[in-house]
Structures are given as C-alpha cells and as structure tokens.
Amino acid sequence: MAFPGPGWWPLAYLGVALLFLALRRDRAGWNALVGLVWGLAFFGPLITWADEAVGKVPWLALTLAEAGFVALFAAAWTWARRGEAVWRSATLQVAVFGILWTALEELRQVFPFGGFPWGRLAFSQADAPIGALMSLGGTALTTFAVVACGAMLARAVVAARRVRVVPTFAWLGAVLALMWIGLVVPLASGAETGTLRVGLVQGNVPGQGLDAFGDVPRQVLANHAGGTAALLDQVGPGALDLVVWPENATDIDPQVDAQAAAVIDSAAHAVAAPLLVGTVQYPDGGGRYNTSVLWEPGQGVVASYTKQRPAAFAEYIPMRGVARLFSDAVDRVTRDMLPGTEPGYVPLAAPRLERTVGLGDVICFEVAYDDVVRSAVTSGGEVLIVQTNNATFGFSDESTQQLAMSRLRAIEHGRATVQVSTVGVSGVIAPNGALLAATGLFTAEQLVATLPLRESLTLATRLGPWPARVTAALAVCVVVAGAAGALRVRRNDRIEIAA
C-alpha cells in the first residue's frame, strides 16, 4: 500500500516493523517461512500487472521467486543477530536488519536473469521527505533508511510492551527524525547550462494487454505522428528543441521501411524539430533490438540508443523449453530481444543553444536499474528521458509505479526527467523530483515543457555503486560473524527479541 497506488508511503515503515516483530524466534527455518509469507503478501498485490500482461501462472511464479528473497533475508537475519554484540544491542539490531535487507535488494537487482528490481522499498518514497536521500546515497541509502525506520518502530513497540517509557519515546523520536531528515537535504533544481524546450507525444494504441498493438502497427505510428502535429496547437513550428516519442511508437523500423520513414520525417518537418523515436531493429543474424533513434528532419537517423536490459520472460525467453511447461505465452515472443552495449547517451544538436546537448536515455524497465540510469548521466546526460510502453499492463498500477521510479531518479542524479509512454502515464519531473505535469492512462495527449539542463553530479552519482558494494560486504560479514557466534554459544529457542 506504500507503493503507487495508493502510494501511502508511511505504510512502508509499518510493513517493515511488522516483519521485524514477526521474526522473533531464534530459528532460521521458521523465520524463512515467515519471510516467505510476508514476501507473497507483498509482491503478489504489488505486481498484479504481470497477471494483466502475461497471465496468472507467470505472475505467481514471479511472486514466489521474489518472495524467496525475503525468506533468504529472514534466515540471514536469524544467523546475523546471533553474534554476541548484535544479540545484546538493540541499536546494532536496527543497523544489521537494514544492512541485510538492502543487500538482498541489491542481489534481486542482478540475479537471476539480470534481476528484477521492482518493489525496492526506496521506490515507495517518491512523495516522502526521506526520498531526498536518493541524492546522497541512491537507492541503497534510501532503502536502508526506510528499513531502519521500520526496525526502530518495532523496537519502540517492544519497549512499550515492557513498559520502558524512556526507550519507547527515544525510539519513536528517532523514527520521526529519520522520517523527516530529507527536509534538510538540499535539492537543486535550477538550470546550469541553459534550458531545453521539449514536446512529449503520447499517441495511445488500439487495445490492451499482449495484443495492445494488434495487427495495426502503422496505426500506432500514425497516432504518434498525429500527436506531433497536435503540438502545433500549443507552439509554433521551430519552437521546440526536441520532440520525444515513447518506446514502440513505431514497431516498423524506419531505417528499413520507406513508408514509416516518410511518416516520421513528415512529422519532424511539421514541427521543425528532431524526434526521439522508440522503434525496433531486426538484425540479419536473428533476434531484435529495442532502440531509440534521433531523427533529424530531412536527414533521418543521426544517433541512437539500444536498450541494455531486456526483460527476461517478456522481451526474451531464457530456458524457453522449460518456461513453456508453465505457460505457452512464451511462444508469443518469437524473436528474443538482444541487449545493447553502449550507455544511454544521445547527443542532440541544439541550434538555439549553439551547442550539443547530452540526452540521458533509458527505455522502460531500465529506469529500475541503478547502473543503467547512472551511466546515462555520467556519460554526459544533462536531462533524463524515460521512453516506455505501458500498453501491455492495462489499467494497472504499473505505469504509476514506474513514474515514481522516474521521480526518484530525478532526485538521485539532479536531472530534469520526462517519462513518455504510448498510453500513459507520461510526466514531466523537476530535478528535485516534483511532478510538474502528467497525462491520463489510455489517452492521446501532448505535453510541452521547458527543462533545466544540468551538468553537476550529485553525491549519489559520484559515489556510484559503492554504497551498494559496502552494504553487501557488511552483510556477508555480519552473517558470518553471527554464525561463528552461534557455534560458540548455545541458545534456547527464544520467542522474544533481545532488549
């Protein structure tokens, strides 16, 4: 419930507190079972959009797989707290609980099959003051803070139950202080290297689900061309520096198909501006690429970016023969998507600014991956562009969950960000994460925005993967130390956690 929708972010702390209290027994197997149940209750409702997209069996399989990480966390927590220092210190318990959870989230981001980062607790905090911590330590620090709030809330419950007044209020005070710490974190949002005038086109599609595009890809292309012409109701020709189309705006490769190329070039000429177009490419050796191309009117493609992290079991099928045993929907993916190898940097010639502007481009689920977004910024991106196609997920919460991630990425890297979807929700986001404008879902709409360009790097961007690496190393250390401590000291199956 902390995630969109409804996005009641304080409930993230309560959910973690309840898990902390539920893991009271000193039995790894029992706690793993508790963690598994908690994970099923969390991930199942969170990703119901997977059911919308590919059916119940894949949705349940993904839910079970992700819940398994919570079970692993619960077992690791049981071993880690057996270390003498952690067992006797409530403060260390809070820290270790947060370290282990954050480390398991980092593992989920990369394993298996490239990882599935959806549901990281930081992504529930787009509207919360604690979300400002993204600019200091990225997702790892923000998640740690959320878990620490929950663990301290649980400690307050334990202290209250034992009628310990001072510790109860001390823990509650610490929770409140950490919840609102983001209010003192400065988030810059002004332009440093000028502004970029951008038009966003959400063209809409004929249907929903796996058949959203039906057999009419040219209609989808025409919708986006028509939406580009509709921008002229808000601005004159030549007033925009760039027009952005979403992922899959044309599933017909304009570099191969002359008719598609003519439609795109005509739209670019109409607004007298380059278009950033989501499309596909089919190499001769098989497979396909999910690509974004920069189209200059009269010239065609002058730059491109290819998606680096195709989604397993959606855009490509690992172990196809095994996966088919669970769902024949895998055969709808007839050509596996191939990964790109270059960062999401697209150079845009901006005559009005008399220079080249760096666009940081990521495609769809890539916004959930720390390294993909970071490399787009460190490669020279002065703004972030998230091109996505949410048509597959119907009227689910997937699109608003993704928009929350885009807002947090804006904070993390101090970049103005736009999310552009085929069907919505599209949005314009300030560098401090504020949502300035948004579209509806399954509508044809256009937005015009002036985006501040920025080159400075936040602390989170400069630190890069190090907060996650340090957390992972600490997690291994505390589990090993706890296991070693358990071998030296025999303990009863204690029901209550230590004071």
Identified catalytic residue from 247, 398, 412, 445: 247
Identified catalytic residue from 105, 315, 364, 382: 364
What is the C-alpha end-to-end distance of the chain, expressed in Å? 30
Q: Active-site residue 56, yes or no?
A: no
Identified catalytic residue from 307, 315, 366, 445: 307
Q: Active-site residue 364, yes or no?
A: yes
Q: Active-site residue 247, yes or no?
A: yes
> CA 53 to CA 38: how far, in whole Å?
24
Residues labelled as active-site residues? 247, 307, 364
